[in-house]
Amino acid sequence: MTPISAKDSTVAPAFDEVGLHYDRLTGMSPGYAAQLRSSARVLTGMLARRPAPGEEPLQIADLGCGSGASTSALLAALRETGSPFRVEGVDGSAGMLEAARAKEWPDSVSFTHAQAEDLPDAGTRYDAVFAAYLLRNVPDRDAFLHHVWRSLRPGGVLVVHDYGVAGRPLDVAAWTALSWGIIIPSAAIVTRKRPNLFTYLWRSVLEFDSDEQLQERLTRAGFTDVGLRPVPGWQSGMVRTLWGRRP
């Protein structure tokens, strides 16, 4: 069996078989939805444009939208702004999108099946891009970030929400204990499959950028106002919110 690796784009197809179980799995993680909402609020707090009703809607992309948990978080945060908006969820896994599309969404939400790094470079169309648990999985992170930068309007923002423990031995130990003690066994029971995707999750988080490396990556891709903070709650040392703006 081919090992799952971000380097050869095998991550999104590997999600196909867990799509219908994904919400049950994340439902077992206390705070998963609340942490996504807190990152979505970082995004809405940074919007450069605040259209009034009747004006041109905000265009927001949710890259790696999966079964729609991050899309729901965006919807909740965007509704709080009072501005009109459109959200485009994009995911490389047909199985995850099937789970997303099975839910009820307003007309302002649409879904597209595509690898995030292969999106056509239509240029300066998004006011904001949200990428929750995606960046770790794309084959060439620098190229991807620059691609996102090009797809933003001037003033547009990127918010990344993802795991990261590099450089903090206590958080590395906590992540390994959580992965092997809870996530991997629970996923094997719920999905009744070999837990390859979840051993990949453990490994990929250990190998992912430190906070400093992530911020440097955004700066290298051309983003300004770059910042990072841990999410609130018990996963504070493991999940972080990162942001940057296209000047």
Alpha helices, DSSP H, located in 1-151: 11-14, 22-27, 32-45, 69-81, 94-101, 141-151
**Minimum CB distance to ligand SAM smaller for 64 or for 195:** 64
Candidates 74, 77, 134, 187; binder of ligand SAM (CB under 6 A) is 134
d(C-alpha 189, C-alpha 198), whole Å: 12
Candidates 4, 40, 60, 116; binder of ligand SAM (CB under 6 A) is 116
Residue 138 interacts with ligand SAM (CB under 6 A): yes or no: yes
Closest approach of ligand SAM to the CB of residue 65, in Å: 5
**Interface size with ligand SAM, residues (CB under 6 A):** 21
Give the contacts of 247 (CB within 8 A, at least 6 positions apart). 154, 155, 222, 224
Residue 23 interacts with ligand SAM (CB under 6 A): yes or no: no
Residue 191 interacts with ligand SAM (CB under 6 A): yes or no: no
Residue 91 interacts with ligand SAM (CB under 6 A): yes or no: yes
Count of helix runs (H) and strand runs (E) in the chain: 10, 7
Q: Which two tokens stand for residue 81?
A: 């702004």
Closest approach of ligand SAM to the CB of residue 225, in Å: 23
Residue 163 interacts with ligand SAM (CB under 6 A): yes or no: no
